[in-house]
Amino acid sequence: MHRSLVLYLPPEDPQAFREYYESTHIPLFKSVPGLRAFRYSFNVSAPEGESPYVAVSEAEWDDAQAYGEALSTPEGRKSLADIRKYATGGAVVVDYPIEEA
């Protein structure tokens, strides 16, 4: 399995951020070919201090190649570019292969 995460820093307008995210970004992202699972949360905490991120999404792909291919589709390119439209505080996008440890 291959994981991609998007970690969102506090946006300028939290309500507009969430509305755009749920009404526009999620349907767009879920149209990306090869997506196996998608989860997200706007309820991010930290065990010590404050979380630097206000929202996190996590997606699953078969492997790194499938993720790379997904990002090169029109839907994938559009989804990645879409993040800039609503993540006005910035976002960190990372991906990694995962196995149960």
Which CB atom, from 24 or from 41, has the smaller least distance to a copy of itself? Answer: 41
How many angstroms separate the CA atoms of 101 and 95, rounded? 17
| Binding positions for a copy of itself, rule: CB under 8 A | 3-5, 7, 26, 30, 37-41, 43-48, 51-53, 56, 58, 64, 71, 80, 92-101
Residues 61/2, Cβ–Cβ less than 8 Å = yes
How many angstroms separate the CA atoms of 63 and 66, rounded? 5
Question: Cβ of residue 17: shortest distance to a copy of itself, in angstroms?
Answer: 16
Question: Cβ of residue 19: shortest distance to a copy of itself, in angstroms?
Answer: 15
Helix H or strand E segment including 6: strand 2-8
Question: Cβ of residue 45: shortest distance to a copy of itself, in angstroms?
Answer: 5
